[in-house]
Amino acid sequence: MAITRFAPSPTGYLHIGGLRTALYSFLWARRTQGEFRLRIEDTDTQRNNEEAMKAIIEAFEWVGLNYDNEVEYQSQRLEIYKKYIQQLLDEGNAYYCYMSKEELDALREEQMANKQTPRYDGRYRDFTGTPPEGVEPVVRIKAPKEGVISFVDGVKGAMNFNATEVDDFVIARSNGMPTYNFVVAIDDALMKMTDVIRGDDHLTNTPKQIVIYKALGFDVPKFYHVPMINNPQGKKLSKRDGAMDVMEYKRQGYLAEALLNFLVRLGWSNGDQEIFSMDEMLELFDPNNINKSASAYNEEKLLWLNAHYIKNVSNERLANELEFFDCHLSGHDKKEMILDLCKERAQTLLELKASIDNILSTPTSYENKGVKKFVKEETASMLESYVALLEANKTSLHLACDYEAITKPFIEEKGLKFPQLFQPIRIALTGGTQAPSVYDILAVLGCDESVQRIHAALAQNFGK
């Protein structure tokens, strides 16, 4: 049974790299009948963003990653951290360091001049003298001076860090506020995390956190450090490439399951399988099979997946999703027909809305290029004849096949080619030439509305 967590800092909106980490953690916890927890790391009060904090919760609700218990906020746990800092001080595993900023800067300059790695030199590690006046001390942990800090990473394998790479790092600032690595280790230990899945940008934090675990006698969890998501060129993902607020994906018309399906494949696979339902993810995902190399963001793949889900979710679901974009079909008597027609060509909900609007909205202008190409001198009389045909048969015209049944003989009788009739009708009904099948549009609009739009286009001479 795995107990996992996702622990974002509310200093910015949740991006897809974070959402992927959350998804992996969620899947592993659920697959093992464990727990998935959400913790907000908000101890950096100067950088916290209230809106970003709300957006993180909102994003979880949108994609359906339900977490166990209440959300934990580090800012509400300060007394817990202070208790463990004091314990380390009392047990001689941490100490007050009175080194001033000027001294620390001078030490670093000297070390860099000597081509040494800048690090604290431990001068107050065993200090027993009189503390200097006017200096508010930080608290540093006593890191091991020799040996190797080792752990087996579920993604990267055996990891070994020389103890000399970890200095006596600060666990509490001079104002008493605990530092990031300290609170993360305390929280993960007290929340009984068994598996910590996170980005490999945290890899260098791990030996420091292990030092804290061992100093306090806590069990060390299993770590999985997931490689980053790069852009197609192999560089750090930028907003232009897709590293935007998760909720922006909703605003751009992506379905939550398409985004999750896309993310689960960015670093993990099950053979050549591309489409994964949530049930399949829960059955198959194992963090021990996460790829060791970075993955590449592929917008075309995301659009392909989104189109797949748009075609395959229920029309009721699509109608509900479209409400977010002010496209209201719930009360429309042709809702099923409209959605069946338009979703086949849509890659996003925005495209779906545009396609629906293109049919349902009465055109106020007509595509100039299409008019020039397809509206000829004989077009008006041809359309008048076709309108007469529609009106003569209106009581029997309901489905696309009904319109097809009367239109094909009309085309043959008049000696027309299909585009000669269909493109002027398409322009009259929608204003352009790229709409779906004319038969389908006629069926959606109905005879009366179709006749009215054709008459309107003729009255304006198609805007010529």
Token reading at 8: 């974002």
Final residue in a domain of this structure, among 155, 172, 189: 172
- Beta strands 170-172 and 195-199 are unpaired
Residue 305, pLDDT > 70, answer yes
Binding residues: 239
Neighbours of 105 (CB within 10 A): 11
Final residue in a domain of this structure, among 118, 153, 172: 172
CATH at 373: 1.10.10.350
Taking all residues of the chain, what is their mean pLDDT, rounded to a whole number? Answer: 93
**Non-local CB neighbours of 366 within 8 Å, separated by 6+ positions:** 427, 428, 431, 432, 457, 460, 462, 463
CATH at 145: 3.90.800.10
Long-range contacts of 46-49 (CB under 8 A, 24+ apart): 47/9, 47/11, 48/9, 48/10, 48/11, 49/10, 49/11, 49/12
In the chain, the percentage of residues whose pLDDT exceeds 90 is 82
The model's confidence at residue 161, banded by pLDDT at 50, 70 and 90, is: very high
Final residue in a domain of this structure, among 144, 172, 200: 172
- What average pLDDT does range 282-311 have in this prediction? 96
Q: Which of 162-166, 310-314, 408-412 has the lowest mean pLDDT?
A: 162-166
Rg (CA), the chain: 32
Residue 359, pLDDT > 80, answer yes
**pLDDT confidence of residue 203:** 96
- What average pLDDT does range 123-148 have in this prediction? 92
| Residue 267 maps to a domain | no
Question: In which residue are the tokens 């609700």 written?
Answer: 61
Residue 141, pLDDT > 70, answer yes
The model's confidence at residue 42, banded by pLDDT at 50, 70 and 90, is: confident
Q: Which of 42-46, 97-101, 164-168 has the lowest mean pLDDT?
A: 42-46
Task: Please provide residue 223's backbone torsions phi and psi, each rounded to the nearest 5 degrees.
Answer: -105, 140
Tally of domains within the chain:
2
- Is 236 assigned a catalytic role? no
| Residue 239 maps to a domain | no
Whole-prediction pTM value?
0.91
For residues 430 and 371, the answer to whether their CB atoms sit within 8 Å is: no
| Residue 64 maps to a domain | no
**pLDDT confidence of residue 53:** 84
Question: For residue 436, what are the domain limits?
Answer: 362-463
| Residue 373 maps to a domain | yes
**pLDDT confidence of residue 446:** 96
3-class SS letters over 48-73 = CCHHHHHHHHHHHHHHCCCCCCCCEE
Token reading at 135: 């200096």
Rounded-to-integer distance, Cα 265 and Cα 295, Å: 9
**pLDDT confidence of residue 158:** 97
**pLDDT confidence of residue 13:** 84
| Residue 208 maps to a domain | no
| Residue 67 maps to a domain | no
Query: Which residue out of 239, 292, 376, 414 is catalytically annotated?
Result: 239
**pLDDT confidence of residue 322:** 97
The model's confidence at residue 323, banded by pLDDT at 50, 70 and 90, is: very high
Long-range contacts of 328-332 (CB under 8 A, 24+ apart): 329/356
For residues 366 and 440, the answer to whether their CB atoms sit within 8 Å is: no
* Sheet of strand 35-40: strand arrangement: 3-6, 35-40, 72-73
The model's confidence at residue 100, banded by pLDDT at 50, 70 and 90, is: confident
**pLDDT confidence of residue 434:** 85
| Residue 318 maps to a domain | no
The string of pLDDT tens digits covering residues 428-464 is 999 999 878 999 999 999 999 999 999 999 999 998 7
Binding residues for ATP: 239
- What average pLDDT does range 391-402 have in this prediction? 95
The model's confidence at residue 242, banded by pLDDT at 50, 70 and 90, is: low
For residues 256 and 62, the answer to whether their CB atoms sit within 8 Å is: yes
- What average pLDDT does range 1-16 have in this prediction? 91
Cα dihedral 136/141/142/143 (nearest 10): -130
In the chain, the percentage of residues whose pLDDT exceeds 70 is 98
| Residue 310 maps to a domain | no
